[in-house]
Amino acid sequence: MSPIAVDPTPPSSATPTSATTTSTTTSQPEPTHPTILRVLRSAKAFGSSAESLVSLPAGSVFAKITTATPAKKAYTSVQTGRDTHIELNSDLVFCNHSCDPSLNFDMHKMEVRVVDGRDLKQGDALTFFYPSSEWDMDQAFQCNCGAANCKGYIDGAQRMKTNQLAEYWLNPHIEELLKENAA
Protein backbone atom coordinates (compact mmCIF):
# COMPACT_ATOMS: atom_id res chain seq x y z
CA MET A 1 0.00 0.00 0.00
CA SER A 2 2.37 2.67 -1.20
CA PRO A 3 1.08 6.25 -0.99
CA ILE A 4 2.53 6.77 -4.46
CA ALA A 5 -0.05 4.42 -5.96
CA VAL A 6 -2.58 7.17 -6.49
CA ASP A 7 -4.74 7.00 -9.58
CA PRO A 8 -3.74 10.05 -11.62
CA THR A 9 -6.88 9.96 -13.77
CA PRO A 10 -8.74 13.24 -13.39
CA PRO A 11 -12.44 13.09 -12.53
CA SER A 12 -14.61 12.76 -15.59
CA SER A 13 -16.19 16.15 -14.90
CA ALA A 14 -12.85 17.75 -15.72
CA THR A 15 -13.04 16.68 -19.37
CA PRO A 16 -14.57 19.53 -21.36
CA THR A 17 -15.74 17.16 -24.11
CA SER A 18 -18.56 15.97 -21.85
CA ALA A 19 -20.17 19.39 -21.79
CA THR A 20 -23.36 19.69 -23.78
CA THR A 21 -23.62 23.08 -25.38
CA THR A 22 -26.85 24.26 -26.90
CA SER A 23 -25.84 27.91 -26.84
CA THR A 24 -22.47 29.04 -28.08
CA THR A 25 -23.01 32.75 -27.70
CA THR A 26 -22.59 33.13 -23.95
CA SER A 27 -20.37 31.42 -21.45
CA GLN A 28 -22.29 31.01 -18.26
CA PRO A 29 -20.83 30.32 -14.85
CA GLU A 30 -20.74 26.75 -13.64
CA PRO A 31 -23.89 25.77 -11.75
CA THR A 32 -23.19 25.55 -8.01
CA HIS A 33 -26.07 23.14 -7.27
CA PRO A 34 -26.38 21.19 -10.54
CA THR A 35 -28.29 18.26 -9.03
CA ILE A 36 -31.01 20.21 -7.23
CA LEU A 37 -31.38 23.66 -8.78
CA ARG A 38 -31.62 25.03 -12.31
CA VAL A 39 -31.16 28.75 -12.97
CA LEU A 40 -33.55 30.23 -15.51
CA ARG A 41 -31.64 33.24 -16.76
CA SER A 42 -33.33 36.31 -18.10
CA ALA A 43 -31.89 39.39 -19.72
CA LYS A 44 -34.50 41.43 -17.86
CA ALA A 45 -33.37 43.08 -14.64
CA PHE A 46 -34.31 40.85 -11.69
CA GLY A 47 -35.93 38.48 -14.23
CA SER A 48 -33.80 35.41 -13.51
CA SER A 49 -35.18 32.68 -11.30
CA ALA A 50 -34.51 29.18 -10.03
CA GLU A 51 -36.50 25.96 -10.31
CA SER A 52 -36.21 22.70 -8.45
CA LEU A 53 -34.73 19.60 -10.04
CA VAL A 54 -35.87 17.47 -7.11
CA SER A 55 -39.01 16.54 -5.20
CA LEU A 56 -38.73 16.63 -1.41
CA PRO A 57 -41.16 16.30 1.48
CA ALA A 58 -42.30 19.36 3.44
CA GLY A 59 -39.82 20.49 6.08
CA SER A 60 -36.82 18.61 4.69
CA VAL A 61 -33.41 20.16 4.06
CA PHE A 62 -33.01 21.33 0.47
CA ALA A 63 -29.43 22.62 0.78
CA LYS A 64 -26.88 23.64 3.36
CA ILE A 65 -25.50 27.16 2.96
CA THR A 66 -21.75 26.60 2.78
CA THR A 67 -20.36 29.41 0.67
CA ALA A 68 -21.67 32.50 2.45
CA THR A 69 -19.36 35.39 3.26
CA PRO A 70 -20.04 38.47 5.41
CA ALA A 71 -21.28 41.38 3.35
CA LYS A 72 -22.88 44.79 3.44
CA LYS A 73 -26.64 44.96 2.96
CA ALA A 74 -27.41 44.88 -0.77
CA TYR A 75 -30.20 43.59 -3.00
CA THR A 76 -28.42 40.23 -3.20
CA SER A 77 -27.51 39.90 0.49
CA VAL A 78 -29.39 37.89 3.10
CA GLN A 79 -29.72 39.05 6.70
CA THR A 80 -28.38 36.66 9.34
CA GLY A 81 -28.78 38.71 12.52
CA ARG A 82 -29.87 42.16 13.67
CA ASP A 83 -26.86 43.85 12.06
CA THR A 84 -25.30 41.12 9.95
CA HIS A 85 -25.70 40.16 6.32
CA ILE A 86 -24.09 37.66 3.98
CA GLU A 87 -23.71 37.06 0.29
CA LEU A 88 -24.69 33.52 -0.68
CA ASN A 89 -22.05 33.26 -3.44
CA SER A 90 -24.03 30.50 -5.11
CA ASP A 91 -27.00 29.86 -7.35
CA LEU A 92 -29.19 30.03 -4.25
CA VAL A 93 -29.13 33.78 -4.89
CA PHE A 94 -31.59 33.12 -7.76
CA CYS A 95 -34.31 32.06 -5.32
CA ASN A 96 -36.74 34.94 -5.71
CA HIS A 97 -39.26 36.28 -3.25
CA SER A 98 -42.76 34.84 -3.15
CA CYS A 99 -45.62 35.45 -0.73
CA ASP A 100 -46.40 31.72 -1.14
CA PRO A 101 -42.83 30.41 -0.98
CA SER A 102 -41.52 26.89 -1.54
CA LEU A 103 -38.46 27.28 0.73
CA ASN A 104 -37.39 28.73 4.05
CA PHE A 105 -33.90 30.23 4.31
CA ASP A 106 -32.81 29.51 7.89
CA MET A 107 -29.90 31.89 8.34
CA HIS A 108 -29.15 30.69 11.86
CA LYS A 109 -28.82 27.01 11.00
CA MET A 110 -27.41 28.03 7.60
CA GLU A 111 -29.72 25.73 5.73
CA VAL A 112 -32.48 25.99 3.17
CA ARG A 113 -35.54 23.87 3.93
CA VAL A 114 -38.75 23.04 2.12
CA VAL A 115 -41.60 24.99 3.74
CA ASP A 116 -43.51 23.08 6.39
CA GLY A 117 -46.92 23.17 4.78
CA ARG A 118 -46.23 21.84 1.30
CA ASP A 119 -44.03 19.27 -0.45
CA LEU A 120 -41.56 20.50 -3.04
CA LYS A 121 -42.09 19.11 -6.53
CA GLN A 122 -39.59 18.89 -9.34
CA GLY A 123 -40.09 21.95 -11.56
CA ASP A 124 -41.43 24.14 -8.76
CA ALA A 125 -40.13 27.70 -8.59
CA LEU A 126 -37.60 27.99 -5.76
CA THR A 127 -38.68 30.97 -3.70
CA PHE A 128 -38.63 32.28 -0.17
CA PHE A 129 -40.42 34.99 1.73
CA TYR A 130 -37.85 37.79 1.91
CA PRO A 131 -39.21 39.41 5.11
CA SER A 132 -38.50 36.08 6.86
CA SER A 133 -34.86 37.16 6.93
CA GLU A 134 -34.90 40.87 5.98
CA TRP A 135 -35.91 43.52 8.49
CA ASP A 136 -35.47 46.59 6.33
CA MET A 137 -34.63 45.78 2.75
CA ASP A 138 -32.03 47.49 0.62
CA GLN A 139 -34.43 47.59 -2.33
CA ALA A 140 -38.16 47.48 -1.74
CA PHE A 141 -40.37 46.27 -4.58
CA GLN A 142 -43.94 45.71 -5.63
CA CYS A 143 -44.54 41.96 -5.54
CA ASN A 144 -46.14 40.30 -8.55
CA CYS A 145 -45.93 36.74 -7.25
CA GLY A 146 -49.56 36.09 -8.12
CA ALA A 147 -50.31 34.31 -4.85
CA ALA A 148 -53.81 34.73 -3.42
CA ASN A 149 -52.14 35.94 -0.23
CA CYS A 150 -49.74 38.34 -2.01
CA LYS A 151 -48.63 41.10 0.34
CA GLY A 152 -48.00 43.64 -2.44
CA TYR A 153 -45.30 46.09 -1.41
CA ILE A 154 -42.34 44.21 0.12
CA ASP A 155 -39.75 46.20 2.05
CA GLY A 156 -38.87 43.88 4.93
CA ALA A 157 -40.55 42.70 8.13
CA GLN A 158 -40.21 46.00 9.98
CA ARG A 159 -43.24 47.71 8.47
CA MET A 160 -45.43 44.66 7.95
CA LYS A 161 -48.45 43.89 10.09
CA THR A 162 -48.09 41.15 12.69
CA ASN A 163 -51.03 39.21 11.25
CA GLN A 164 -49.43 39.32 7.79
CA LEU A 165 -46.23 37.83 9.17
CA ALA A 166 -48.01 35.25 11.30
CA GLU A 167 -48.56 32.89 8.37
CA TYR A 168 -44.79 32.50 7.76
CA TRP A 169 -41.81 30.83 9.35
CA LEU A 170 -39.47 33.66 10.40
CA ASN A 171 -35.80 33.69 11.29
CA PRO A 172 -35.04 34.11 15.02
CA HIS A 173 -33.56 37.61 14.52
CA ILE A 174 -36.80 38.75 12.87
CA GLU A 175 -38.89 37.26 15.72
CA GLU A 176 -36.64 39.06 18.19
CA LEU A 177 -36.88 42.42 16.42
CA LEU A 178 -40.67 42.08 16.14
CA LYS A 179 -40.92 41.50 19.89
CA GLU A 180 -38.81 44.59 20.57
CA ASN A 181 -40.93 46.66 18.21
CA ALA A 182 -44.13 45.53 19.91
CA ALA A 183 -42.83 46.21 23.43
Instruction: Using CB under 5 A, list all residues that contact Zn ion.
Output: 99, 143, 145, 150
Q: Which is nearer to Zn ion, 71 or 143 (CB)?
A: 143
CB of 29 to Zn ion, least distance (A): 28
Determine the Cα–Cα distance for residues 148 and 135; give it in Å rounded to an integer. 23
Q: Which of 138, 183, 135, 127 is nearest to 160 (CA)?
A: 135
To the nearest whole angstrom, how small is the minimum distance from the Cβ of residue 119 to Zn ion?
21
**Quick one: 55 or 149, whose CB is closer to Zn ion?**
149
Could you tell me the smallest distance in angstroms from the CB atom of residue 164 to Zn ion? 11
The torsion of the CA quartet 145, 147, 149, 154, rounded to 10 degrees, works out to 0
Distance in angstroms (rounded) separating the CA atoms of residues 78 and 183: 26
Smallest distance, Zn ion to C-beta of residue 48, A: 18
Name 5's Cβ contacts closer than 8 Å, sequence gap at least 6: none
- The residues facing 89 across adjacent strands are none
| Nearest-angstrom CA–CA distance, 147 and 174 | 23
Nearer to Zn ion, 17 or 142 (CB): 142
Q: Please, which residue, 37 or 145, has the CB nearer to Zn ion?
A: 145
